[in-house]
DNA sequence: ACAACAGTGTAATCTGCGTTACGGTTACTT
DNA sequence: AAGTAACCGTAACGCAGATTACACTGTTGT
């Protein structure tokens, strides 16, 4: 009876879509809570509603469900990382803003948990792990590289390789927290922590990058 | 009949000590190969020789065995990290040497695997994970801080907080590789990779630290 | 209304593994 | 040599969870 039915729209909820979304959400919760091995398919169904049979029909099995879940999650976490950075913002301010946005994204509990989970399962799901690690940072890094290029042309910095420089900046900003959060599941940086870490990163970066292009 | 019997020496092999060592070695292999959950006690015994009963008698259970294994491993990996750095080495050379030593240690396949394994189990074994993360870097970092202080007093750098500076240096050097190796289990940096990464870190660090102490 | 189909619930199957029990064997002590 | 404690093998227990089978009930399209 429905007369809309958009032809190529898979993302919007048919009845199958609704079920699928519910399964993915529950799977995310349970996997992140218990880890891959200790997550139970039955509990996922319990939380999602629906039935075990449908779960298996839609995802094939535990492995398939996990992959689908991570895929969806990476998409969600990556998407909002595009930073609105008017190209001509002064460099210090621009770096600070892009750095904070980046760290805020990475510091959300869910993102951290996916991070940890993937690290643990890297050898079981090599493709997924590689993809996750690459897809996330890639987009924002190239955005930063472009921004650095713009600033270099404006004469604010002297940089030789923009991609390398962007990489260094992010590493500098995230290293401390990324490593710490991996091993202390209960540590969650506050906004102030983030601001401070980024500030320190920006200062070292601005002082140091030019040493790479003499 | 043995007339040696050193009084306080627990580390040297009694019969129990031999068994224990064999168990720990096998446990390390199996845990690192399959991950905590998929490691089977039976297989550990198969590799170590001995019997399941003895394993349980000595370690109490899977959890106890795991903790003992990680503990022993951390000890082994931490111990050789003390860097012989004659205090008055010029700073560029000193940083390069300490950085390379540090990275070489962290890049050994076993160290990486322990790293990944711990990250995955951080919420199951919070104490272990925290301890592991701290014990390793702690010693070498304070050695670096002392060295930096010496160099600062010699007028080679201007640094305000030596611990923070040391932290930044290590983060700068290790970030790239640590994160990459977490998600690409098959990636193993060569000596040349390490040298280059450290070199880059040293340059950015030396150029940038002083920006923290204006 | 009626066939085709996707979704539901529940139970049964199958497997693997941590853990314990136990009777026999070995190695050290005195 | 006798005694004691640790060690060995193996089998059994109990459990938990992935996966499958099956009989049912709604929904969809014509």
Sequence ranges of the domains in chain A: 15-60, 82-212
- Residues B123-143 have a mean pLDDT of 81
Q: Return the number of other C-beta atoms located less than 10 Å from residue B38's C-beta.
A: 13
Token pair for B91: 């700073």
Q: Is B117's Cβ below 8 Å from some Cβ in A?
A: yes
pLDDT at A179: 82
Q: Taking CA B79 as the corner, what is the angle to CA B55 and CA B39, rounded to the nearest 5 degrees?
A: 30
Question: Distance between CA atoms of A152 and A144, rounded to whole angstroms?
Answer: 12
Residue B134 — very low, low, confident or very high, per pLDDT cuts 50/70/90? Answer: confident
Residue B179: what pLDDT?
A: 82
Closest partner residue to B122 (CB to CB) among A116, A126, A132 is A116
Instruction: Please state, rounded to an integer, the average pLDDT across all residues of chain A.
Output: 85
* Confidence band of A68 (pLDDT split at 50, 70, 90): very high
A135, A138, A140, A142: CA torsion to nearest 10: -150
Q: Please, are residues A106 and A179 in contact by the beta-carbon 8 Å criterion?
A: no
How many Cβ contacts (< 8 angstroms) between chains A and B?
A: 141
Average pLDDT value for residue range A189-197: 94
Least confident of A105-109, A198-202, B37-41, B69-73: A105-109
Query: Which homologous superfamily does the CATH classification assign to the domain defined by B15-60?
Result: Homeodomain-like (1.10.10.60)
- B203 near A211, Cβ under 8 Å? yes
Whether nucleic acid strand C comes within 7 Å of the CB of B39, the answer is yes
pLDDT at B70: 92
Name, in order, each residue with C-beta under 8 angstroms of A190's C-beta and a sequence gap of 6 or more. none
- The partner residue sitting opposite B120, judged by closest CB among A116, A133, A208, is A116
Superfamily of domain B77-212: Tetracycline Repressor, domain 2 (1.10.357.10)
Q: How confident is the model at residue B182 (pLDDT cuts 50, 70, 90)?
A: confident
pLDDT at position B102 is: 87
Mean pLDDT of A45-66: 95
Average pLDDT, chain B: 85
Overall average pLDDT of the A158-179 stretch: 90
Fold annotation for A82-212: Tetracycline Repressor; domain 2 (1.10.357)
Place of tokens 């140091």: A208
pLDDT given for residue A184 in this prediction? 85
- Whether B151 shows a pLDDT value over 90: the answer reads yes
pLDDT of residue A77: 77
pLDDT at residue B138, as a whole number:
77
């Amino acid at each position: 009876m429905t007369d809309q039915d958009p032809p190529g729209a898979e993302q919007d909820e048919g009845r199958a879509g609704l079920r699928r979304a519910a399964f993915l959400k529950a799977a995310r919760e349970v996997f992140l809570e218990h880890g891959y091995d200790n997550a139970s398919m039955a509990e996922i169904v319990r939380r999602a509603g629906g039935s075990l049979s449908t779960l298996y029909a839609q995802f094939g099995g535990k492995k398939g469900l996990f992959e689908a879940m991570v895929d969806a999650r990476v998409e969600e976490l990556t998407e909002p990382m595009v930073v609105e950075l008017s190209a001509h913002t002064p460099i210090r301010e621009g770096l600070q803003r892009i750095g904070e946005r980046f760290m805020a994204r990475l510091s959300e509990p869910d993102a951290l948990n996916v991070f940890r989970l993937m690290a643990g399962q890297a050898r079981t799901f090599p493709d997924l792990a590689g993809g996750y690690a690459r897809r996330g940072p890639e987009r924002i890094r190239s955005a930063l590289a472009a921004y650095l290029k713009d600033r270099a042309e404006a004469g604010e910095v002297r940089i030789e390789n923009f991609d390398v420089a962007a990489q260094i900046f992010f590493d500098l900003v995230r290293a401390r927290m990324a490593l710490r959060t991996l091993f202390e599941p209960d540590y969650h940086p506050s906004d102030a922590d983030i601001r401070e870490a980024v500030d320190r990163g920006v200062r070292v970066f601005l002082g140091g990058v030019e040493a790479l292009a003499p």
